[in-house]
Structure 1
């Protein structure tokens, strides 16, 4: 499919009564599509995804559109939302350790590139601390400096490891054996797509 077809198809997955914070509706998106304003239409469709939970197919179509339009950040976000639907998402308040106290001396990218290890209270078969990997997206910020604080979205690599994690729990982020940051869980959303039995 080409970009207009993908965006038209995605817009059909948005309930007609849905509106953004600025009262933009699907009809407005169609106006932009008719005038070949694909980037604006894509951006508005992404906003609908903030207002409500939309299906995986919606985000897949937006991701493919953004890829074709070569909109890197938008494509990364739409692919990220696909991962959230498949694996679940944990929103948390993360504070990184200051550069003087941690291994990391540079900012971390906010666009889901980093996949750190997290101590979420699991133990190995020998009783030692076990960590679980989750991708990290920083909300409303392009990057986070050492010592900084932000709301983040975590997508577990293995969702079954995270079933015991609940809001209010404190977890620690690791890039090596030392603690890189501390996070307090704000929200937990389980995978929308069941994991295959295996």
Structure 2
């Protein structure tokens, strides 16, 4: 599909009753689509999706449209939201260790590039801490410098290993054997099951 068809298809997935913080509804977005204001329409659809749970197909089609428009940041965010739906997401308050105390001396890129390891309480067969990988997105910031603090979103590589993690739990981030940062879990959202394709009555 081309961009106009994709955005129209995405708009049809949004309930008419929901609105952005500025009271923009999908009806307003259609006005932008009529006038070929695709980038504005895409940004507003992102806002609607960030404020309300919408299906995987919403974010997949929005990501496709952003890719075609070459909006790198929007495309990265839409693809990220797809991964959150498939794998679940953990929001946490992360504080990185200062550069003088840690291996990392450069900032972490904000938009979901880093895949650090996390100590979430698992042990190896020998009783040593066993870490688990989760991708990291820094909310509202292009990067997070050593010693900095921010709210982050974590998408687990293996969601089943994170099922015991609950809000309030303290977890540690690792890029090697040393602790790179400490986070307190704020929210946990498990993977969204795919729509059932049950058979109808025969």
TM norm. shorter chain > 0.5: yes
Partner of residue 187, structure 1:
187
Number of corresponding residues: 194
Query: Shift of residue 51 of structure 1?
Result: 1.4
1:49-85 deviation digits (Å, cap 9, x = unpaired): 1211000000000000000000101000000000000
Q: How does the TM-score come out when normalised to structure 2?
A: 0.95
3-state SS of the aligned residue for 2:4?
helix
Q: How does 1:36-51 map to 2 (within 5 A)?
A: 36-51=36-51
Partner of residue 89, structure 2:
89
Distance 2:178 2:3 in 1: 45
1:125-161 deviation digits (Å, cap 9, x = unpaired): 2221100000000000000000000000000000000
Partner of residue 158, structure 1:
158
| 1:21 paired to 2:25 | no
After TM superposition, the runs of 4+ consecutive aligned structure 1 residues lying more than 4 A away are none
3-state SS of the aligned residue for 1:131?
strand
Partner of residue 9, structure 1:
9
1:99-128 deviation digits (Å, cap 9, x = unpaired): 000000000000000000000000112221
Q: How does the TM-score come out when normalised to structure 1?
A: 0.97
Q: How does 1:109-188 map to 2 (within 5 A)?
A: 109-188=109-188
Segments of structure 1 that go 5 or more residues without pairing to the other structure are: none
Query: Shift of residue 15 of structure 1?
Result: 0.3
3-state SS of the aligned residue for 2:91?
strand
Distance 2:186 2:145 in 1: 21
1:23-54 deviation digits (Å, cap 9, x = unpaired): 00001110000110100000000000121100
3-state SS of the aligned residue for 1:85?
helix
Query: Shift of residue 193 of structure 1?
Result: 2.4
Segments of structure 2 that go 5 or more residues without pairing to the other structure are: 195-202
Partner of residue 66, structure 1:
66
Partner of residue 35, structure 1:
35
